[in-house]
């Protein structure tokens, strides 16, 4: 393999949603450089960070309808039983909620955790609290999807954070989604909650790093019980 081919496979494409931001950062770099040369390099570094933020790498998703795949890159910050948001119409009984928190260095393209049909899309205005806070799930701006899967209705909620001020959802009502398929994006730090019905067992632990479209975060129909992890 030659050097060019190695570089080509290493560079990750930028999602089209990031094009205006990357261009704006680069123009700002030129203006700053016109004012004072060292500022150009500062702006260029920020431009490269912006391109990195909007990266959209390919992922290899397990094809198994019993598996729940992480919808986001980031850290698993919560695994607990919680009543889902009212706007999702998933009932008043607690469901297994697995939360993945994304910082500003994570890839922010969101992917469907399971295959199914979108039956609900519910946007709700709110605050912009730290997305790691538990109350962010009820107080922050959010966009929720309900996907009718093989194992029943599951909820996926995009939640804005302190810096995130723009939730984007590309899918529409009654459209099918494959596991790992891109369905949205949140700009600049946020979190995703996945609500799962009875029968799902978590396959991740608090603090674990998850990769969107690849990491198995839960499983249906398994007798193994919750996963046990250790730090090393």
Check if 77 is active-site: no
Helices (H), 112-181: 136-139
CB neighbour list of residue 25: distance below 8 Å, 6 or more residues apart:
43, 46, 47, 50
Q: Do 75 and 207 contact (CB within 8 A), yes or no? A: yes
* Beta carbons within 10 angstroms of residue 24's beta carbon: 12
Q: Do 143 and 167 contact (CB within 8 A), yes or no? A: yes
H or E segment at 59? none
The distance from CA 218 to its chain's CA centroid, rounded to whole angstroms, is: 16
Q: Which residues share a beta bridge with 145?
A: 121, 156
Q: Which residues share a beta bridge with 96?
A: 81, 196
Given 137, 190, 205, 232, the catalytic residue: 190
Please name which of 219, 82, 99, 218 lies closest in space to residue 158, comparing C-alpha atoms: 99
Beta-strand ranges (E) seen in the chain are: 67-69, 74-82, 95-102, 109-111, 116-124, 142-149, 152-160, 167-169, 176-177, 182-186, 190-196, 200-202, 209-210, 216-220
Cite the active site residues. 190
């Amino acid at each position: 393999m030659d050097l060019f081919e190695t570089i080509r496979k290493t560079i990750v494409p930028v999602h089209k949603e990031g094009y205006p931001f990357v261009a704006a950062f680069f123009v700002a770099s030129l203006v700053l450089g016109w004012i004072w040369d060292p500022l150009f390099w500062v702006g260029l570094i920020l431009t490269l960070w912006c391109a990195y933020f909007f990266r959209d790498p390919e992922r290899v998703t397990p094809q198994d309808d019993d598996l729940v795949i992480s919808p986001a890159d980031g850290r698993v910050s919560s695994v607990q039983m919680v009543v889902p948001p009212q706007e999702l119409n998933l009932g008043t009984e607690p469901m297994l909620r697995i939360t993945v928190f994304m910082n500003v260095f994570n890839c922010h393209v969101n992917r469907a955790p399971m295959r199914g049909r979108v039956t609900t899309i519910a946007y709700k205005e709110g605050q912009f609290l730290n997305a790691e806070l538990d109350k962010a799930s009820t107080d922050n701006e959010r966009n929720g999807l309900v996907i009718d899967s093989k194992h029943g209705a599951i909820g996926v909620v995009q939640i804005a954070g302190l810096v995130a001020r723009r939730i984007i959802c590309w899918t529409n009502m009654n459209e099918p989604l494959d596991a790992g398929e891109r369905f949205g994006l949140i700009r600049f730090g946020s979190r995703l909650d996945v609500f799962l019905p009875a029968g799902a067992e978590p396959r991740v632990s608090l603090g674990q790093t998850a990769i969107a479209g690849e990491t198995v975060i839960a499983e249906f129909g398994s007798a193994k019980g919750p996963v046990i992890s250790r730090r090393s």
